[in-house]
Amino acid sequence: MNQPISISAPLDDAVLRSLRAGDRVLIRGVIFTARDAAHRRLAAALRAGEEPPFDPRGQILYYTGPAPAAPGSVTGPAGPTTAGRMDPHTVDLLQAGLKGMIGKGERSPETVKEIVRAGAVYFAATGGAAVLLARSIRKAEVAAYPELGPEAVLRLEVKDFPALVAVDTAGGNLYRQGRESYRM
């Protein structure tokens, strides 16, 4: 198995082009969270020509809403949510410069095409490992939409956040490749 590749967020285009579906990565730097309600608001703002609450260029969105933090913890468990639910709003964010997304599960064929067109990458995080994933979060603060409660956009500082490249800039798709490897 290949060694994990350390990458920094915000993402650099040269690094993105070097990643391939199936690569294991360890992400460090700043990433933002956004789930369903935040995606709707971000996309609506972009469609209306408004400035988003943070600059999406080069950024990674993690599809999570961390549970409340226990005393002495930065966040509570922070596992990925199903990425396909964000597909209706992904194009708007990619057009605004978003370069990475972290979630679980497959993306629609249309969304995969848009990810490739934008030179972006979709990362998969392990569902059911929310407590372990939260250990990579060093700092968390509300960045936008505090009224959304657990679905507010958070700015996270992460170190060695583990993920897999699920869709790469060349169209490699780990979900498709996995199924094809078992076909006879």
pTM recorded for the entire structure: 0.95
Please give the sequence-ordered ranges of beta strands (E in DSSP) within the chain, or none if there are none.
5-9, 24-33, 60-62, 100-103, 121-124, 137-144, 153-167
Q: What is the pLDDT of residues 61-81, one digit of tens each?
A: 999 999 999 898 999 999 999
pLDDT at 2: 77
Are the C-beta atoms of residues 45 and 65 closer than 8 Å to each other?
no
Two structure tokens written together for 126: 């392990």
Burial of 55 (0-12, 13-18, 19+ CB in 10 A): exposed
Q: Show me where the domains of the chain are located.
A: 29-180
In CATH, what number does 29-180 get? 3.20.130.10
pLDDT at 179: 62
Q: What is the pLDDT of residues 112-165, one digit of tens each?
A: 999 999 999 999 999 889 999 999 999 999 999 999 998 999 999 999 999 999
pLDDT at 182: 62
pLDDT at 183: 62
